[in-house]
Amino acid sequence: MKQETGWVEISVGILIGGVILSGLGYVAMQVNNLNGRVSALEALQRANLEQRVSAIEINIAVIKALTTRVDNLSARVIAINPTSGRIVSPSSGDVVSTVFNYEIELRNPDETKYYYIANRIGGLYWPKARINLQSGVTTYTGTSNEGGSPPGGRFSVVLFEVDTAMHEKISKWLNGTDFPGIQIDGREFASVDVVLRK
């Protein structure tokens, strides 16, 4: 009887061991399946991310190409319709007060440039006002002044165009407290010689 009980215990032990091993094998198989799914999901996410990055790179290339074409077209438009300007008033030879009105015409302005009215005495300029461009507007009016004592009362009213660096220099000068004449590196469109009223 004892011998049979031993066999039963061994059989039960083997059976339990088999069940445990079988369960561990099942768990291991599920872990492997889960790892496989995670790897597949990661690969899918990586592929989606690579597709998105590729699409973004294509969009960037398209935007760069379009920007280049727009720049080329803008250059052509400027070449076809170059900026032009003239001073309508005062006219050359006019006698003006220390404060006087001006009127200018400015056509096809380059929106990357800046436009100013200045008084010129000799080779130096005294900027007076920036022309604030407005879409569709070609005529601009404003008030200028001459508070100095130009030789013989004679000076020129000038319309000119400058780049960003020169614009910054002029802006700093206009916001200063001392106003010596300055050199201006820019494109002069028009000038009229006037005389200051005594």
pLDDT digits (tens, 9 = 90+) for 142-191: 898 888 888 899 999 999 999 999 999 999 998 988 888 899 989 998 99
Digit-coded pLDDT (tens) for 112-129 = 999 999 999 988 999 999
- Residue 26 CA from chain centroid, whole number: 62
Do 146 and 183 lie in one domain? The reply is: yes
Do 61 and 95 lie in one domain? The reply is: no
Structure tokens at 107: 């056509």
Q: Which of 26, 57, 80 is the last residue in one of the domains?
A: 80
Do 94 and 185 lie in one domain? The reply is: yes
- Give the residue with greater pLDDT, 168 vs 32: 168
What DSSP state is assigned to residue 122?
T
Q: How many CB atoms lie within 10 A of CB 144?
A: 19
In terms of Cβ atoms closer than 10 Å to its own Cβ (0-12, 13-18, 19+), residue 57 is exposed
Helix (H, G, I), strand (E, B) or coil at 99: strand
The dihedrals phi and psi of 81, each to the nearest 5 degrees, come to: -120, 75
Do 32 and 109 lie in one domain? The reply is: no
Do 132 and 56 lie in one domain? The reply is: no
Lowest-pLDDT range of 6-20, 42-56, 166-180, 184-198: 6-20
Given a cut of 80, is residue 96 above it in pLDDT? yes
Peptide bond into 90 cis (omega under 30): yes
**pLDDT over 90 for what percent of the chain?**
33
Residues whose CB falls within 8 Å of the CB of residue 60, separated by 6 or more in sequence, listed in order: none
Q: What is the CATH number for 164?
A: 2.60.40.10
Range of the domain at 45: 1-80
pTM of the model: 0.58
Q: Which residues of 171-198 are buried (b: 16+ CB within 10 A; e: fewer)?
A: eebeeeeeeebeebebeebbbbebebee
Digit-coded pLDDT (tens) for 66-94 = 777 766 665 555 456 688 889 999 999 99
The pLDDT of residue 95: 94
Q: Which of 61, 80, 99 is the last residue in one of the domains?
A: 80
The pLDDT of residue 4: 60
Given a cut of 60, is residue 2 above it in pLDDT? no
Do 16 and 74 lie in one domain? The reply is: yes
Confidence class for position 34, pLDDT limits 50, 70, 90: confident
Confidence class for position 46, pLDDT limits 50, 70, 90: confident
Do 73 and 169 lie in one domain? The reply is: no
Residues whose CB falls within 8 Å of the CB of residue 196, separated by 6 or more in sequence, listed in order: 95, 96, 97, 98, 146, 150, 153, 154, 155
E-strand stretches of 63-163:
84-89, 95-96, 99-107, 114-121, 124-131, 139-145, 154-162
The pLDDT of residue 11: 65
The pLDDT of residue 159: 94
| Under 8 Å between Cβ of 137 and 95 | no
In terms of Cβ atoms closer than 10 Å to its own Cβ (0-12, 13-18, 19+), residue 150 is middle
Do 69 and 99 lie in one domain? The reply is: no
The pLDDT of residue 77: 52
Do 101 and 75 lie in one domain? The reply is: no
Q: Which of 80, 109, 132 is the last residue in one of the domains?
A: 80
